[in-house]
Each structure stands twice: as structure tokens, then as C-alpha cells.
Structure 1
Amino acid sequence: MTFHEVAAATLSASAVWLTTRRSPWCFPVGLLSVSVYIWVYFGARLYSEVLLQCIWVAMLVTGWLRWLRHLDGTGHVRVAALAPRLAAIHLLAGIGGGLALGYAMHRWTNASLPWLDAMLTALSLVGQLWQNRRHVAAWWMWIAVDVVYIGMFVNKHLFVTALLYAGFVALAVKGLRDWRQAARREAAQA
């Protein structure tokens, strides 16, 4: 456990909590978090996670801009539906991307968990895409991915981060519940 890991975990938890509240402030806090996590993951040789954090920067900026265009009267983002066909396409692309990245990390790096790390990275990108587009389904993805991440981080002795991801699971359950309620309220008002 390092100061950087604790700082990154604290910032990440704050960003996810803000996301459950549908607050656009989740994005600048998230940007701070991923900046610190780049160093943490590089030190742990989780190179797919380093790559993911770099991609998060772009995804967080685009998500922030998208959310700012879809705020309700209270400053919270409005929830949007995800078509099942589009969900299936995104999932297949994520799995394919995870396999390709896993192969690359296995073949050309000394990554310690290339296949698992790569698949979690790819599916996390799908989850963030859904979050950027304001889909309730993002929370289901975060629950599934974060449960597996806990085991990976325990294996890598990143215990603070494993604890953080346990908290993420709890926050994702809260986010799922809150966003589903918001979607029902928005549908009733339409």
C-alpha cells in the first residue's frame, strides 16, 4: 500500500459516488483519479490497466461533455435507454477486444495477468461507454467487472485497491437502484 494507491482509491470512490448521484462533477474527480492510478498500475506491471487509465482520460472528457448537454432542471443527468441489439454489439466488441489485447499483452509484454487484465480492461471500456451514454445497464457491467477485479487486485497485493473495488460494487448496486428509480420518474413525466 502506497500513498499514491490510497489517494487514487479515495478519488475513485468519490468519483463513483458522484456518478451514482448523476452529478457531472464525477468526471473531473475521475480525471484526477486515473492520473494517479497510471503510476500505481505501472508499478504493479498491470499494463492493460495503465492503457485503460490513459483511455479513461479521453472517455471521461467526452462523457463530461455529453452529460453537460443532458442535465435536468436540478443539475443531474437524465438517464437514457439502451437497446438490446446495441448492448449485444457492444458486449461482443468488448469480448473481441479483450481477446486481442490479451494476446498482445501475453505475447509482447511481461504483464503478470495478461488475459484477465485485458478482458477486464475491454469490458470496463464497454461499461464506461454505457455510463457516458447515461445507460442504467452500465451499473450491471460495473457490478460484474468489479467483482472480478477484487480477486485480481488481491492476487497482486493491491489490497487498498481491492477494498476500493468492493466499495465500487456497493456503489454500483446503489447506482443501479438510484438510476432505475430516476428512469421510472423520467418516464412517468414524459
Structure 2
Amino acid sequence: MRSIEACAVMLSALGVWLNVRRNRLCWPAGIVSALLYGWIFWRVRLYSGMVLQCAYIALETDGWRRSSIQHASHRDVSRRMHVMPIPRRMCVLGLLCGAAGSVALGALTAQFADAALPWLDATLTSFSLVAEFWKTRRYIAQWRLWIAVNCAYVVMFAFENLPLTAALYAGFIVLSYIGLRDWKRDDSLIRNTSTPTASQSG
């Protein structure tokens, strides 16, 4: 299983790095890594995590489709995927859905499955889905949520004796910070470039 885990680690790291760079190849990399991690999590009885990987495949596929459709019309001056701040209503709704999903999935796996760490696994699964949905919409706020989720994942995977995956998620924390910094900077640059000056507006 270590060789499969190593392969999943490399593909996951590549997918996140490509997302930071706003490269559309982040989607296929994410799909393949989700397939591998779905099998790994099934083996170690992290069933919520396994369900999460299945959802990732669907969301990554949707994100890939959206980025292909919008490739020509939604690119900024650097010709990369366009990013945007999250609307307040979407942020609140997403966090509420994450909390509700944590309770529902945690109760389900704790009651009806021999899940390891059912409540923690369910909570991280639920909020990861929120972050992944925000990713498909290219919201900058995804990075803040990923930072929080990845910190908790490092602890969980270390406890479950998945050292390569724990190290991967520690790297994700760094990449998420870089993504947040770069996306905010680029969004500010785009806004300043697209805003007409007083002399231009007449």
C-alpha cells in the first residue's frame, strides 16, 4: 500500500500546486489522486474520507468542465483561470452546510460502520467538500478553509499511521498559504487594472 500511497501523494501535491498556479491541469491530477486515495481510505476504514474522494471526482470533473467552457471568456491578463472573492451569503451558507454535514455523516458512520475516528473524519470530509466546491467556483476563500482543514488532517493521518499522507498535508498547508497570497495579489492587480482612472473616465 505504501507504493500506492506514494503515487497518490505525488499526484495530490501536483494537483494542489497546479491549482495555486491556476492551471487547468489541476483537475485531471485531482481526479486520479482521488481514485487512489479512495482505495487507501477504504483499506484503513476512514469511510468518510473514502466518500469524500468519490465526491472529489465528481466536483473535479465539474470544475474541469467549467474551466474548459469558460477558458476563452474568463481569463485575466496573465491568461490564467479567473479568480474572485466569495460572496458573503455563499460563505455563510457553505459553512452552515459544512457543519450540518459533519453532524449527519458523523452520526451515520459512528452508528452503522466500524469507522476509525468517525466524528473527526466526518467533520474534515464535510468541510473539505465545501472547500472543493469553492474551488470549482474559483473563490479565493477556498485557501483559508483548506489551511484549517489541512492542519487537522495532518494530526489525523499521523495518528492513523499514514506518514506520507501526513507529510503531504503538511505541505498542503504551505501551498494553501501561497495560494491565498498569490490569488489575493492577482485579484487586486486585476481590479486595479480594470478600474478606469479619473482621466480615462472623463
Shift of residue 113, structure 1, vs aligned partner: 0.7
Equivalent in the alignment of 2:36:
36
After superposition, give the CA deviation of every residue in 1:38-77 in whole Å (9 maximum; x if it has no partner): 1111111000010000011110011112223133354410
> Identity percentage over the alignment?
41
Tell me if 1:26 matches 2:63: no
After superposition, give the CA deviation of every residue in 1:64-112 in whole Å (9 maximum; x if it has no partner): 1222313335441011121112201110111101110000000000001
Equivalent in the alignment of 1:188:
192
**CA separation in 2, counterparts of 1:108 and 1:53?**
20
List gaps (5 residues or longer) in structure 1. none
Matches within 5 A, 1:145-184: 145-184=149-188
> Which sits farther off after the overlay, 76-85 or 14-23?
76-85
CA contact (8 A) 1:120 1:145 kept: yes
Match of 1:124 among 120, 124, 128: 128
Q: Indicate the RMSD between aligned Cα atoms, in angstroms.
A: 1.1
Secondary structure, aligned partner of 2:86: coil
Matches within 5 A, 1:39-188: 39-68=39-68, 69=70, 70-72=74-76, 74-188=78-192
**CA separation in 1, counterparts of 2:75 and 2:123?**
32
**CA separation in 2, counterparts of 1:163 and 1:97?**
27
Matched residue type, 1:54: C
CA contact (8 A) 1:23 1:75 kept: no
Matched residue type, 1:6: A
Q: TM-score, normalised by structure 1?
A: 0.97
Moved over 2 A (4+): 70-75
Q: TM-score, normalised by structure 2?
A: 0.91
Q: Which one scores higher on RCO, CA 8 angstroms, separation ≥ 6? A: 1
Secondary structure, aligned partner of 1:124: helix
Structure index of larger Rg: 2
